Amino acid sequence: MTDVCISVSNARKADFPIYKKMSSAFSYLDNAATTHSPQVVIQAVSQYYEEVHSNPHSASHTLSERTTGQYYKARETVARFIAAPGPEQIIFCHSTTMAINMVAMSYLQPRIQAGDEILVTAMEHHANLLPWQQLAKRHQATLRVVPLTPTGEIDQEAYHQMLSTRTVFVALTHVSNVLGTINPVTSLVASAKSYGIPVLLDGAQAISHTPVDVTALGCDFYVFSGHKAYGPTGIGVLYASASAMEKMTPCIFGGGMIEAVSYTESSWLPNQVATFEPGTPNVSGAIGLAAALDYLTQIGWEAIVSHEQALLQYALSALDRVPQLQIYGRASDRVGVLSFTLADIHAHDITSLLNDQQVAVRGGHHCAMPLIHELGLVSVTRASLGVYNDEQDIDALVNGLHDICRVFQL
């Protein structure tokens, strides 16, 4: 057993420089927003800038050739991590948000018509809601929203009833960033595909919590961001199946994507990936993301999932003993995302008071305002788990909440 596989709960913090900069009492529980990067990721990015940095593709000098090679290797790593058929189906962009917008603009916009329907769920992040909402409004189409069950799961009966010959696209989150629910996306995708409906899965919250196999899932598109998977900010991934990519048209234009250009006409490179990555790419971001995915692979999914599930159960048990605390989302299949209210104390007050005790959580609507409103709330406090968290972090959170209860005399 390698060092990285030894006791996820006890040894992992040593891999992350942030814990050397903060006090020993620091507990970071805001992983659903952004995860920290291990030293191997920081080193990979730094080494690129120190030893290789150049513009890829266009030049024949040594540094450019090395940069091109590392960039392509990063694409291979991403493809392997999500079990894509090949690297030619991996498009790098700057975020999950950008990836979803690219699909909306380059795939659906050219073919949507008045009267068509786009299906989303009530738990979508704004990034997987607004592009489809705006596209539907512009083309007199209808955005339909699948409701949730009381436990915070997709109402599958309603989902199946809402699929029809009018449905032209389905966009689903793989894992809810508020409720922590792991959606049964394999069966949901299969149901949509039985109608011939293309499906996009938002994997931003899934990518660091559960293994992803896009081939087995059967989705047309899968999107995620590096900064939620222990990688750098400013790098995202759009996986497109071969058949879906053939139907995409460029939506962002510039250098590096062209075969020929005149003042009146242009033609695009036959290389589909290059067509959707105009301009100088975020090479360092792609290299850092690849290092982060390799780091997760070294730990192993069995260790990651078992550690998180054990810590999640520990947290649920401890939080249930806090007076007047209510957790939202009780799906049986879920990740370590815990959204809660504490009496009538505003989430921002809770996060501020916890921050005074060196516990980092997040409060607000978490870019899921329609969902929060459906819960009858304005905001919730969210604590979210990562590979470096342990029982001491949960104890710090719970002790801080008990202190707040005493202050507010709950």
Residues 6+ apart with CB under 8 A from 248: 103, 106, 107, 240, 272, 276
Burial label, 254 (beta-carbon count in 10 A; 0-12, 13-18, 19+): exposed
Backbone dihedral angles phi then psi of residue 93, each to the nearest 5 degrees? -145, -170
Answer yes or no: are the C-beta atoms of 97 and 313 closer than 8 Å: no
| Catalytic one of 219, 251, 367, 405 | 367
Answer yes or no: are the C-beta atoms of 387 and 307 closer than 8 Å: yes
- CA–CA distance, 345 with 340 (Å, rounded to integer): 11
Cα end-to-end span (Å), the chain: 48
Give which of 321, 326, 320 is closest to 339, Cα–Cα: 326
Answer yes or no: are the C-beta atoms of 177 and 204 closer than 8 Å: yes
Length, in residues, of the chain? 410
Ramachandran sector of residue 261 (left: φ over 0; alpha: ψ -120 to 50; beta: rest): beta
Answer yes or no: are the C-beta atoms of 71 and 277 closer than 8 Å: no
Which structure tokens are listed for 191?
Answer: 């149901």
Give the neighbor-by-neighbor strand order of the sheet with 362-364. 325-328, 337-342, 380-384, 362-364
Q: Active site includes 367?
A: yes
Q: Which residues are catalytic?
A: 367
